[in-house]
Amino acid sequence: MKKIGVIFDLDGVIVDTAKYHFLAWKDLADHLGFEFTEAHNELLKGVSRVRSLEILLDIGKVEISDEKKQEYLISKNSHYLEYINKMGSEEILPGVNELLDTLDNLGIKYVLGSASKNAPLILKQVNLFERFAGIVDGNSVSKAKPDPEVFLIGAKKLNLQPEHCVVFEDAIAGVEAANKANMISIGVGDEKILHEADFNFENLTEISDDFVKGLVKRTKAIEHR
Ligand code: BG6
Ligand code: MG
């Protein structure tokens, strides 16, 4: 069987941390005196922490000094970490463990490709850290998604060509990054939003062993083109 590798996004694919980001960003918006809704929070998915703050400040039409920005980035993250430190394996999203088992059984390696600087901590909290062959997180990249850097580093960790890598993503920026990296992109979530992905699933429970085996054949076909 030809080797393929998998790269997983974290937030929204493995765990639902968007709700904690929301609470922490909302707290800051409350402090600054403007409304921050769940719809606004959608705009922050897949986006780096610094960029998230810029988007939030744009929403509130607030201008602040770089010094203040640094201060808010730190306070938002400490607030966010209060939620993360309470997380446990019950927060792993449905279908994740089963898919990792399938990959293990087929001898397919997987790494993490996340924008989050808190990714290692989150994986440890939910007891999945040891299962991954490598971690690429917000600390390892200089360019955020939709730049393909995070996934190209992931491919290196897997020791595979990008065409042999499959990316699971819940954010538009992530699907774009995977496509730019010349990888197979799998959108997890709303197909209408993630229509640029090669394949779409509502969640990981929909992914069968046969689908994974089909991916191996597909990458083989790419190789022989
Ligand atoms: C991404 C999330 O995975 O990580 C974004 O989808 C978040 O919403 C980004 O802003 C950065 O996360 P962190 O943990 O470094 O603040
Ligand atoms: Mg995500």
Q: Which ligand 1 atom minimizes the distance to the CA of 114? A: 3
- What distance in angstroms lies between residue 224's CA and the mean position of ligand 2's atoms? 32
- What distance in angstroms lies between residue 8's CA and the mean position of ligand 2's atoms? 9
Question: Is 198 one of the catalytic residues?
Answer: no
- Three-state SS string across the chain, please? CCCCEEEECCECCCECCHHHHHHHHHHHHHHHCCCCCHHHHHCCCCCCHHHHHHHHHHHCCCCCCHHHHHHHHHHHHHHHHHHHCCCCHHHECCCHHHHHHHHHHHCCEEEEECCCCCHHHHHHHCCCHHHCCEEECCCCCCCCCCCCHHHHHHHHHHCCCHHHEEEEECCHHHHHHHHHCCCEEEEECCCCCCCCCCEEECCHHHCCHHHHHHHHHHHHHHHCC
CATH code, residues 5-16+89-223: 3.40.50.1000
Domain boundaries, the chain: 5-16+89-223, 18-84
**Mean pLDDT, the chain, as a whole number?**
95
CATH 1.10.150.240 corresponds to the domain 18-84: yes
41 lines ligand 1 (CB under 6 A): no
- Is the predicted pLDDT of residue 69 greater than 60, yes or no? yes
Provide the pLDDT confidence category of residue 216 given band limits of 50, 70 and 90: confident
52 lines ligand 1 (CB under 6 A): yes
Question: Is 210 one of the catalytic residues?
Answer: no
Provide the pLDDT confidence category of residue 217 given band limits of 50, 70 and 90: confident
Provide the pLDDT confidence category of residue 40 given band limits of 50, 70 and 90: very high
Q: Residues 206-213: what's their mean pLDDT?
A: 96
- Is the predicted pLDDT of residue 159 greater than 60, yes or no? yes
The protein residue with its alpha carbon nearest to ligand 1, atom 12, reads: 116
47 lines ligand 1 (CB under 6 A): yes
Provide the pLDDT confidence category of residue 3 given band limits of 50, 70 and 90: confident
- What distance in angstroms lies between residue 219's CA and the mean position of ligand 1's atoms? 30
* pTM for the model: 0.94
Q: Which ligand 1 atom minimizes the distance to the CA of 170? A: 6
Nearest ligand, CA 120 = 1
- What distance in angstroms lies between residue 198's CA and the mean position of ligand 2's atoms? 17
- Is the predicted pLDDT of residue 74 greater than 70, yes or no? yes
